[in-house]
Amino acid sequence: MSQPSIQLIRGFKDILPGETELWQHIERTAIDLFEDFGYRDIRIPIMEKTDLFARSIGEDTDIVEKEMYTFTDRGKDLLTLRPEATASICRSYIQHKMYAQDPVRKFYTIGPMFRRERPQKGRYRQFYQIDAEIFGVAAPYADAELIFLLRTLFDRLEVTDTTAHVNSLGCPVCRPRFKQALSKLLDAAAPALCGDCLRRKDRNPLRVLDCKAPGCREAMHGAPSIIDYLCDDCRAHFATVTDMLTTLGVPFEVDKQLVRGLDYYTRTAFEIQTGALGAQSAVAGGGRYDGLVKMLDGPNTPAIGF
């Protein structure tokens, strides 16, 4: 009896001729747009030391707890296939001292990421992302530029029915008061929360807002809005972002329940959503992460990306 042929690993996908041409069109369109806006190509390894992702993404996140492809190599180093690009770009920015010559940098990268999620329609364990980042600019015009950039990309790709959803996640000054108010709600809602959220509600209550479990989503319907707890600086920053989006003609909604699934985000968070995909409506997402470079032992550098 012949041996069975070797098949693809579950959750991975071949991109075949006939399909690759569409991928090339998307990539060329994105690259042309990014370079028109002054972004430069950066190519980062697909593998990094595990500690980079544990420190930046957050040990209480689903990505670090459940989804990373992590292994010990022959030199006893703990290594991980990259689950996202931002942490690696920050590591490169710091390691090569790019901030020394000019702290303001604009990067883009396109390539595969890896997460051991449950395979389902439209989700793969090796997936591809288009990524753009701005370093060294704290002003809210950078936030508006990135959202405008995304909107322009989808327009050029003729992806219709898109809307930007935006929110502010506050900063270390104002977020503690919001966490305190949210924690009171979570204590009362504890019987409805999933096991992961019960474990996280005291250490990182914002993580519950990102949970997709039906019971947790139902419990969060009455959750307070972080916008009501913003300090004066964060409130002014967010108001400028939304004013600029209006001026630029970018359709958007203020989505008070929008959070990002990674720990490093501060202030502006955003997604581009479309009605063309059903429940999986988000086609892009990102936000500001002003503390991440310093967290990874670099200088205090504001940054934002998607």
**pLDDT tens digits, residue range 241-272?**
999 999 999 999 998 878 776 667 889 999 99
Q: CA-to-CA distance for 134 and 250, rounded, in angstroms?
A: 20
> What is the per-residue pLDDT for 110?
97
Question: pLDDT per residue over 271-305, tens digit each?
Answer: 998 876 665 678 899 999 999 999 999 999 999 99
Longest dimension (CA), the chain: 74
CB 53, CB 63: distance < 8 Å: yes
pTM: predicted TM-score of the whole model, two decimal places: 0.88
CA distance linking residue 81 with residue 112, whole number of Å: 10
pLDDT at 211: 74
Q: Sign of the C-alpha dihedral, residues 270, 107, 69, 5? A: positive
More confident residue, 105 or 212: 105
The angle at the Cα of 198, spanning 191 to 216, to the nearest 5 degrees, equals 65
Mean pLDDT of the residues in the chain: 88
Taking only the tens place, the pLDDT of each residue in 49-77 is 999 988 877 665 666 667 888 899 998 99
The phi and psi torsions of 18 (rounded to 5 degrees) equal 100, -35
In tens, the pLDDT along 79-127 reads 999 999 999 999 999 999 999 999 999 999 999 999 887 766 667 889 9
